Chain A
């Protein structure tokens, strides 16, 4: 009994160290979205390709779909761009763009130059839809299932590994 009491502080200390070290390894850059399993938010914004056209939620009409938050000032989006172009080619999934706090002409020029993986892009100059989506850093990608429900969210560039791990499981 006495022995047990003597080593108890050491045991507690070691357990604490192990617990704290395991927390260090956690990836804090991936915040869980609170919008998972919720409806995609309503919006009322112009189309990037044509400022006369007003887009709403009902324009995202082909499911399952992904909504990709991108901008010309976002360097990681450039890294991700070839993946999206490839996805458009190889998958039946529809990709919608959310052009985030950008310059319309610069964005159009970029799509012209590098290719356009999006059905269309929503032009969110003020970032209002982005706030409704809980966006905190481009690029971000949301997966919407056939019921119009958000199933997953990824912050940062998509890669084939991440696509298989986080997105494909929701597409069956």
Chain B
């Protein structure tokens, strides 16, 4: 039973793996590069840009027609030897900052970038204040208890 289970897993994973390899081969055929540096750069760019149509996936993960067109456009720009910053400029001039998965640091995104830190620090300050006030309370009751104890000891003598 166990062997059957494992062999099924093995077959399934092989099928998935070969499909993945085929996918990679198709990608290589569609976008052939002279150097592997260019290819790595191209794949990195496709990971960093967002598909404007599907919005929750990057260009490399999307097969929407517009994503394919943009891939072809980026392929052309990489082939022409354009720098990453130039390609980003090309895309943002047409599709806006929306196309970037990493939004730039500017007035409209201050809250986005700084929000987590503001939240972290305000929570820390709050926790500190809360702790201090509790400590004060505890020490007060301690003192009162000590006083009581001393008094009763005195009375007992």
Contact = CB atoms under 8 A, between A and B. Distances in A.
Contacts of A12: 122
A104 interface: no
Interface string B60-100: 00000110011001000000000000000000111110100
B126 interface: yes
Contacts, number: 42
Interface string A61-89: 00000000000000000000000000000
Contacts of A31: 52, 95-96, 98
Contacts of A130: 69
Interface string B118-154: 0000100010011001000000000000000000000
Interface bracket on A: 20 to 34
Contact of B94 (A5, A8, A28, A131): A131
B142 to A, nearest CB: 19
Listed residue (A9, A31, A126, A133) with the most chain B CB atoms within 10 angstroms of its CB: A31
B92 to A, nearest CB: 7
A101 B92 CA distance: 22
B130 A136 contact: no
B53 interface: yes
A35 B73 CA distance: 19
Contacts of A101: 65
B7 interface: no
B96 A32 contact: yes
A5 B133 CA distance: 10
Contacts of B122: 12
5 contacts: A34-B94, A131-B70, A131-B94, A133-B94, A134-B52
Interface of A: 2, 5, 8-9, 12, 28, 31-35, 101, 126-127, 130-137
